[in-house]
Structure 1
Amino acid sequence: MLGRRWEPIAAISTVVVGLVTGLTIPLVSLRLSATGASTALISVAASMPALGILIAALCTGWLAARWPVKTLLLIGVAGSAASIGLLTVTDWMPVWLALRFTVGVASGLLLALGETWISAVSSDATRGRWIALYTAVFTLCQVSGPGLLAALGSAGPQSLLVVVLVHLPGAALLALSRCEVDANPETKSFGLLGFARSAPVIVLAVLMFSFLDAVVLALLPLYGMANGHRETVAVLMVAAVFTGDAVLQIPLGWWADRTDRARLHMACGVLVLVLALAMPSLIGDSTLVWPALVLLGGAAGGVYTLGLVRIGDHFRGADLITANAGATTLWGVGSLVGPPLTGAAIHWLSPDGIMLALAGMAAMFLLSARLPIRPGLGAMQVRPR
């Protein structure tokens, strides 16, 4: 069995979710497009994982009160691998939609419980660097998905089979670990709405980053092309944002373990706001736009990373599971509403609506950052008989 000091390494293995989403979302879209499927059907298929993540997150606390967290994580790994493997043996559309949904459910379990696990087993003095490593590896896995798809192609089963095999090391580490997370329902003092009341700054942090994550993938290339860049250059802008997100999280995590985390959290939000407002002036500058995009990705990723760190700082036991389930739920919400809201902003404020929408999200986060995190505020009220 792995000792407790090595459990954060096992917990980081749950970021296989990043590779799963990064590869399967574009793969399914390409496969459906090749069969002549309508845009509406492709959109439904793309939204099924987010729906599954939402459902899983809403049920995570209830499941963790009845099953060991380690068992649920193993079920999540097995369910993800099996669902992806089955995509290689059928082309029947109802089955594909169902499998996309079950991939989302498995991913939701791995996200909520994996983040809970790493928060629970890392000390207050090292939580920043461990969670930063977790989010950095997640991003690297996510951006590796399209690269793997480009290398192996979308027509055959090879790319999906590689993703299935990638689950195995994580499952082995998980099986060897203790994964002792307190999920006693008697220690639970609030639900998902209570979490939102007690930690609005974390709510806005997760919403802002999930909004950016979805919007950058879907709309940033169009923004670059609208400002005169070639398609290949505009696509590289997405890579610049995710490179900043991946590379800068570890130094931010190290810094978070040595400074006031709330102030560093706000500083990341200020940087996102400034860069989003400056981007309409920078987007046409072939020299300044690249470091600006890298910094934007790093600062936005820092808002999310430090949100997870502060969850670990303020919540314990079953409340920690509820808080991380709440963060996963909000991730799904932000991913679902981000592209259509930004599309509306672009329609009315073209072509800079994407950055103005992001600036608006950053401003709301900064307003919420003035409110303290108060775990007791969301506590369930017990009425006297």
Structure 2
Amino acid sequence: MTEAAQPRQGRTHYFILIAVVVAAGLSQGLLLPVLAIFLERMGISSSMNGLNAAALYVGSFAMTLVAERLLGLIGFKKLIASGLVLVMLSLLAFPLIPSVAFWFVLRLLVGIGDSALHYAAQLWVLMMSTSKNRGRSISFYGMSYGLGFSIGPLGIPLLKYGEAVPFVVLAVQFLFILIIVLVKLPNIKPEKVEGGDQTSSGRYMRSYRLAWYALLPAFLYGYMEAGMNSNFPVYGLRSGFTLDEISMLLPFVGIGGLLLQLPLGIWSDKFGRKRVLVIAGISGGLCFALIPLAGTNFWATLILLTAAGGLVGSFFSLGLAYAADILPKLLLPAANVVASFHFNVGSIAGPNAGGALMETGWNGGIFFLLGGLYILFGCAGALFKPAADSKL
């Protein structure tokens, strides 16, 4: 990597990567609600609608199994470009055949493409950052995706101009970003692993041994994000909130994350990554655990959701930044795969665990369990001390 020696060029590359992740956020933020609307109009059941949406996580999960090897073979630029092309072509294919089975396959491909470009882009950001600005850099990266995801649904009114219009607009956007990537980014590859841990399993095990605490936040973030989106509407209805109140409350988890993402990243640069993770985990966990006690008080619930989302909304990016602090660069590709694997497992576990708890009649249990996991994570920080040889 030569980014440190060329700061101006490094900044250009960084902002291109930010443009890539904003485009990915926009596509996901618009694609999810538009397809849900189409499936509802087609008379597809809500359970089948949700199952169709889950194809995205299946594709993302599949990509994590080969991402490190692919990156080593073709490099950062080609992996990002491949992801952009796959998503772009899938977007153009959606309006061609309105079929549930066909869309399931296309969502798989979108998940694979998004996972490829995310894996390469966030790893590149980690590797070009220094310990002094890593928290700010990766937090701004995460905030950019969240911003794109939040803006995406604003494109729903494009449907009045034709059902294919949102897909074409997104595809043109991806084409524009693809051209910039192909013209401006160098095609570099991660350094090859030298020494005894050259097998994938060896690198993964060493990453776990040296940075298990830094890799857990990815699971917690996936659990929280997918669990809240899937379970909170059901919790709200059973607790007595109206549909309008639920639709107004849920976005504030993400809004809180956007508000505190960059400040937490900057504070982690200044006060230490582990300290910020511990404090944010315990505080955010307490906020989640207090939500059932707020009952149907709209403003109390809104404040708690915003505070909780803000405190833990940076967990994925801060965890990766902490892993980059304590791991040698040669292990970062493997650690990034582990973090993505954790995120996908958490995304699958969150809705299922919450649904199982509510099935017993204990609706507030989803927040007590979620809060408890974050508090337990914060307390576990006392058990973790980076190994002296972690950077060797």
TM-score over 0.5 for the alignment?
Answer: yes
1:313 corresponds to 2:320 = no
1:361 corresponds to 2:368 = no
1:121 to 128, 138, 143: 128
- Segments of structure 1 that go 5 or more residues without pairing to the other structure are 380-385
| Per-residue CA distance 1:141-172 (angstroms, 9 max, x = gap) | 22223332256369701222222223234324
2:14 to 8, 15, 31: 8
Residue 372 of structure 1 corresponds to: 385
Alpha-carbon distance between aligned partners in 2 of 1:161 and 1:89, rounded to the nearest angstrom: 11
1:61 corresponds to 2:74 = no
**CA deviation after TM superposition for structure 1 residue 375, in Å:** 9.4
Which moves more between the two structures, 58-67 or 223-232?
223-232
Q: How many residues align?
A: 379
- 1:174 aligned partner, one-letter code: V
| Per-residue CA distance 1:182-209 (angstroms, 9 max, x = gap) | 2424476543344334322233211111
| Per-residue CA distance 1:201-260 (angstroms, 9 max, x = gap) | 233211111111112212223323333322111111111111011121111112122112
2:223 to 192, 211, 226: 211
- 2:289 aligned partner, one-letter code: L
**Mapping for residues 183-262 of structure 1, pairs under 5 Å:** 183-186=191-194, 190-262=202-274
- 1:53 aligned partner, one-letter code: S
Which moves more between the two structures, 194-203 or 239-248?
194-203
- Conserved 8 A contact 2:281-2:378: yes
Alpha-carbon distance between aligned partners in 2 of 1:47 and 1:75, rounded to the nearest angstrom: 22
- Conserved 8 A contact 2:72-2:189: no
**Cα 1:186/1:90, change in 2 over 3 Å:** farther
Alpha-carbon distance between aligned partners in 1 of 2:365 and 2:157, rounded to the nearest angstrom: 30
Q: Which has the higher contact order (CA 8 A, sep 6+)?
A: 1
**CA deviation after TM superposition for structure 1 residue 269, in Å:** 0.2
| Per-residue CA distance 1:27-72 (angstroms, 9 max, x = gap) | 3333223223345543332111111111111101111221112111
**Mapping for residues 127-166 of structure 1, pairs under 5 Å:** 127-149=134-156, 152=159, 156-166=163-173
Alpha-carbon distance between aligned partners in 1 of 2:205 and 2:226, rounded to the nearest angstrom: 24
**Cα 1:109/1:281, change in 2 over 3 Å:** same
- SS of the aligned residue for 1:257 comes to helix
- Conserved 8 A contact 2:27-2:152: yes
**Cα 1:374/1:17, change in 2 over 3 Å:** farther
- 1:358 aligned partner, one-letter code: L
**Cα 1:375/1:91, change in 2 over 3 Å:** farther
| Per-residue CA distance 1:319-354 (angstroms, 9 max, x = gap) | 111111211121111112210111111222522122
Alignment TM-score, normalising by the size of structure 1: 0.90
Which moves more between the two structures, 161-170 or 288-297?
161-170
Give aligned-pair identity as a percent: 22
Alpha-carbon distance between aligned partners in 1 of 2:330 and 2:26, rounded to the nearest angstrom: 28
- Conserved 8 A contact 2:289-2:372: no
| Per-residue CA distance 1:242-282 (angstroms, 9 max, x = gap) | 10111211111121221121101111101111101211122
Residue 95 of structure 2 corresponds to: 88
| Per-residue CA distance 1:62-94 (angstroms, 9 max, x = gap) | 112211121111111111111111112122443
- Segments of structure 2 that go 5 or more residues without pairing to the other structure are 1-5
1:271 to 283, 294, 299: 283
